[in-house]
Chain A
């Protein structure tokens, strides 16, 4: 048997550990280390001003080497198993690997820089555990979120029924002017569908929030959901004149794709 010394100083051999299934734990280095501009204020700061967005005076550079002009915090919320992590990974890496993710415990984030018109917008996207008891740990982070993507699973009625409770929670803990968008995920699963698109639309109308159906699996409307949020946040920041005001709902209605006619 060799008595050679074990490798030292080698870059992270990730040895006897199993390959990690969680995207959050292994690959966040690609984007998780980004600098949030000059903001020294943490997400948890108690008296965050409602317009407390990060808006560096000159382009900043994140650790992944990407320039950006402005940065926003977006949170993914919704019941356990509705596909928050899958949606995020589809958006971030363009990949969907069925059954390759472990359930998210606690809270985690990934960054993505998007080009909105000529502006580089960095989204810092927070992924949260869906189980109810974790909310007491995660809702402290609602306060600093600029946008919340609220997900339900169209194949799971109870995840849809819980949306009202989620919205109540959001109103209680988030900023008044937070951008909220309702997403009915897993829209590709036509056979197991339990919630019609119209039901989602109706609920969204009742609460005055934009809505669309998404599929992390097929990619349906995933890019659009994040683009729409980024556009809205960018327009708010630029404080453009009223006449050219960006209409989030109109934009979404125009750009949204729907699943086939037999889907609902």
Chain B
């Protein structure tokens, strides 16, 4: 976490041009608002850090239980993120059960097409992050390539899908470890998320429709607007699901969402989406055309509501109301069959 330089001057003088994760702040970055926001959030972080270090004292492993879940929802301190993500997602187990597997994937014969499609996106992953620039040495570009290549061979059905580059990039920024990033990718794509990234993208299409159904019952005015202007959900939310909110929401907020994603699963993605839509329904329902609707869905991913990640993460568990796994499973089944039926008719 960022340490503020204590000396005087403006917020811009006190803060670095590069954020703690390596992202270069844009010219129009609002240093004053950020500093105010962080002065509150730092107090939260300090409090949580003390609690976490007590909880983890002398332990290299953790057990999933109600207390840990509560802790995770309140945010994992960055120094413990790798450990908790690895433990909660089962990635640590896989890593221990398969020693040397990651290296063997890198050593094997490589699929040329796969290599090419990964290479196309390497320099287009985080050009605004100092660790992902060609000039940065050692940098994380090589590691990004390795993780994606290994994953593509590990799961040839998925191979490489655009969006996975951003996910692997974030994992590397946090873990700073290729092998752990690989197993966290495996946990996400193989177990936590439905089939978002496979060639048919059926899981993605399904979840977009599921979100639509949830909006229909929970926020009917927004559902009506989408219908009135014939806006397909894919147009406004595909990036939310594929990129797991990377480059949609602020970095700090994304990491807090991922804390819960690794612990509680893909339901969290719906909670975030429903919260954004519910909280901003007045903005969305003002739209008078399809472009207006698209614009509104972008606008709602900016501003204090999403910047204040701690308050936002509390909101996602209250604002959308109840969302049971049973409901989600049932909706997924219905939507999936509907999509398959529609596709076969075409």
CB-CB under 8 A from A254, the residues of chain B are none
A173 → chain B, closest Cβ, in Å?
Answer: 10
Pick from A11, A19, A44, A81: contact of B230, CB under 8 Å = A44
Instruction: Kindly provide the distance from the CB of A227 to the nearest chain B CB, expressed in whole angstroms.
Output: 22
Given contacts A5-B40, A7-B304, A136-B200, contact A18 B294 (CB under 8 A): no
A15 touches B37 (CB 8 A): yes
Report A-chain residues with C-beta under 8 Å of the C-beta of B291: 32-36, 109, 111, 124
- Complex Cα distance, B23 from A105, in Å, reads 20
Residues of A within 8 A of B242 (CB): 105-106
Contact partners of A8 in chain B: CB under 8 A: 304
Which residue of chain A has its CB nearest to the CB of B249?
A17
- Which residues on the A side are within 8 Å of B252 (C-beta)? 16-17
Partner of A103, one of B26, B165, B229: B165
> For the complex, what is the distance from the CA of A22 to the CA of B163, rounded to whole Å?
13
Chain B CB within 8 A of A175 CB: no
Verify if B121 is at the interface (C-beta below 8 Å from A).
yes
**B228–A40 touching, CB < 8 Å:** yes
* CB of B242, distance to nearest CB on chain A (Å): 5
With A4-B39, A15-B34, A100-B127 as known contacts, state yes or no: A43 contacts B247, CB within 8 Å.
Answer: no
Interface membership of A102, Cβ < 8 A: yes
Residue B323 at the chain A interface, CB threshold 8 Å? no
User: What A residues does B126 contact at CB under 8 A?
Assistant: 18, 21, 102
A18 near B23 with CB under 8 A, answer: yes
Contact with A35, one of B37, B39, B288 (Cβ below 8 angstroms): B288
B179 interfacial by beta-carbon distance below 8 Å = no
Complex contacts, A33 vs chain B, CB 8 Å: 291-292, 295
Q: How many angstroms between the C-alpha atoms of A5 and B35 in the bound complex?
A: 11
Which residues from A are CB-within-8-Å of B36? 2, 4-7
Asked if residues A25 and B298 are in contact (CB atoms below 8 Å), the reply is yes
Bitwise interface map of A from 130 to 145 toward B, beta carbon under 8 Å scored 1, else 0: 0111101100100000
Least CB separation from B28: chain A residue: A14
Please tell me if the beta carbons of B19 and A18 are within 8 angstroms of each other in the complex. Answer: yes
For the complex, is A28 an interface residue (Cβ under 8 Å from B)? yes
Rounded to whole angstroms, the CA-CA distance of A107 and B294 in the bound complex is: 11
Give Cα A98 to B104, complex, Å: 36
Is residue B125 within 8 Å, beta carbon to beta carbon, of the partner chain?
Answer: yes
> Which residue of the partner chain B has the closest CB to A159?
B120
Alpha-carbon distance between A158 and B115 when the two chains are bound, in angstroms: 14
Interface check A118, CB cutoff 8 A = no
Tell me if B328 is interfacial: C-beta within 8 Å of chain A. Answer: no
* CB pair A106 B234 closer than 8 Å: yes
**Chain A residues, CB < 8 A from B24:** 18-19
Please determine whether A21 and B162 come into contact, CB atoms closer than 8 angstroms: no
* Interface membership of A129, Cβ < 8 A: yes
Greatest chain B CB density within 10 A among A4, A63, A131 is at A131
The complex places the Cα of A105 from the Cα of B197 at a distance, in Å, of 12
Instruction: Note all chain A residues with C-beta closer than 8 A to B229.
Output: 40, 42
A99 at the interface (CB under 8 A from B): yes
**Minimum Cβ distance to chain B for residue A64 (Å):** 11
A residues 84-117 near B (Cβ < 8 Å) are: 99-107, 109, 111
- Tell me the bound Cα distance from A129 to B33 in angstroms: 34
- Return chain B residues, CB-CB under 8 Å to A63: 292, 295
CB-CB under 8 A from B238, the residues of chain A are 105-107, 137
Q: Are A103 and B250 in contact (CB under 8 A)?
A: no
- Per the 8 Å Cβ criterion, residues 5-63 of A in contact with B are 5-22, 25, 28-29, 32-36, 39-45, 63
| CB of B50, distance to nearest CB on chain A (Å) | 15
B247 touches A36 (CB 8 A): no
7 contacts across the A-B interface (CB closer than 8 A): A10-B33, A18-B24, A18-B25, A35-B289, A42-B231, A81-B124, A136-B205
State the 4 A-B residue pairs at the shortest beta-carbon distance, nearest first: A42-B230, A19-B26, A18-B23, A17-B250
Given A6-B304, A7-B37; 12 other pairs, CB 8 A cutoff: A14-B302, A18-B251, A22-B247, A35-B289, A44-B231, A45-B230, A101-B127, A103-B125, A105-B166, A105-B242, A105-B243, A107-B238
